[in-house]
């Protein structure tokens, strides 16, 4: 490419760093994404940015896709190209944005992993040997009982829990939205046992779940304690906190068939996000069908 085109790219990155004050991580992402675009332009003998056409951008993205890039990574690269061309347009260097209407290939949506009801029972219905394990079981019960996100659980304060009303309040869920959730009887029992011991070491800490030193538990600590608990229980598969939230949603939908209610309980802004659990429900029904229907499988002679 011509030196002037290279300088225009440098000017764009400098503007991101100095004027927009993007993070180092974001700046490096832009540099990496646009480096691949420069490489494409060199192979296609594109000397100036105004020469790049929409068909060229599509070809570039298709080439990156064939090299194994995910849809998410391709969307990010397209976003970087669009942002760069918006800068060029404002500088009157180009007349159009060739990446404006280019879309990345859609990626197959992965179904979340869940535990079945018996697996959840095996995880939660077990004795504890210490105060910390009592706290841990209360956390895990609450995950499954109310479908909390990890950030929501560690953010809970004592005034947010209403044991008599069997409910809790998430003050700031995803997107800053608050919501009130029910608490099941098993989780109520586990919380009551934990609260009896929590008061002695809480000090002025308002957090529902605190460490042995009396400070609010971090998200990483909760993940670690769940992994430790699974090891103790002899559970081979990797169980993470969000899996308990997924299991809550899947089991509730299987029993109630009320997608809108599950959406409200999970705190999803769009029902399309919740609809992924209908696929899990169908998988469950398909397995039942395959195992039970007399003509579902071929007989072997």
User: Which residues are tagged catalytic?
Assistant: 149, 174, 242, 245, 268, 277
Q: Read out DSSP for 204-219?
A: T--BSSB-TTSSBPPH
Question: In the block, which residue shows the tokens 């007989």?
Answer: 299
Backbone phi and psi for residue 117, each to the nearest 5 degrees, phi listed first: -60, -40
SS3 content of the chain, % helix, strand, coil (to 5): 60, 5, 35
Strands 161-162, 167-170: parallel, antiparallel or unpaired by DSSP?
antiparallel
CA distance 135 to 113: 25
The closest alpha carbon to 123, from 225, 235, 209, belongs to 235
Name every residue whose Cβ is closer than 8 Å to that of residue 133 and which is 6 or more positions away in sequence. 229
275 burial type by CB count under 10 A (0-12 exposed, 13-18 middle, 19+ buried): middle
Starting at the edge strand that comes first in sequence, how are the strands of the sheet with 167-170 ordered?
161-162, 167-170, 179-182
Distances, alpha carbon 235 to alpha carbons 115, 143, 246, in Å: 11, 18, 18
SS3 235: coil
**64-69 — which CB contacts under 8 Å span 24+ positions?**
64/36, 65/104, 65/105
């Amino acid at each position: 490419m011509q030196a002037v085109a290279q300088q225009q790219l440098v000017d764009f990155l400098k503007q991101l760093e100095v004027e927009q004050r993007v993070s180092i991580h974001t700046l490096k992402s832009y540099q990496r994404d646009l480096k691949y675009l420069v490489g494409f332009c060199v192979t296609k003998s594109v000397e100036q940015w105004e020469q790049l056409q929409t068909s060229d951008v599509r070809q570039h993205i298709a080439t990156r896709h064939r090299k194994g890039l995910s849809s998410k990574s391709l969307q990010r690269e397209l976003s970087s190209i669009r942002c760069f061309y918006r800068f060029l347009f404002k500088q009157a260097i180009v007349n159009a944005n060739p990446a404006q209407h280019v879309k990345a290939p859609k990626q197959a949506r992965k179904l979340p992993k869940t535990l079945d009801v018996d697996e959840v029972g095996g995880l939660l219905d077990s004795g504890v040997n210490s105060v910390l394990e009592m706290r841990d079981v209360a956390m895990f019960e609450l995950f499954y009982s109310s479908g909390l996100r990890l950030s929501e659980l560690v953010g809970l304060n004592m005034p947010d829990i209403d044991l008599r009303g069997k409910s809790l309040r998430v003050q700031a869920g995803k997107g800053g939205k608050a919501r009130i959730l029910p608490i099941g009887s098993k989780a109520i029992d586990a919380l009551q046992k934990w609260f009896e011991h929590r008061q002695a070491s809480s000090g002025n800490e308002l957090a529902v779940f605190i460490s042995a030193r009396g400070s609010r538990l971090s998200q990483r600590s909760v993940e670690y304690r769940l992994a430790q608990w699974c090891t103790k229980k002899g559970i081979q598969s990797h169980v993470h906190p969000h899996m308990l939230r997924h299991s809550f949603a899947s089991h509730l939908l299987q029993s109630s068939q009320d997608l809108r209610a599950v959406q409200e309980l999970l705190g999803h802004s769009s029902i399309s996000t919740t609809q992924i659990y209908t696929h899990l429900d169908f998988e469950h029904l398909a397995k039942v069908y395959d195992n039970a229907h007399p003509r579902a499988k071929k007989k072997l002679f």
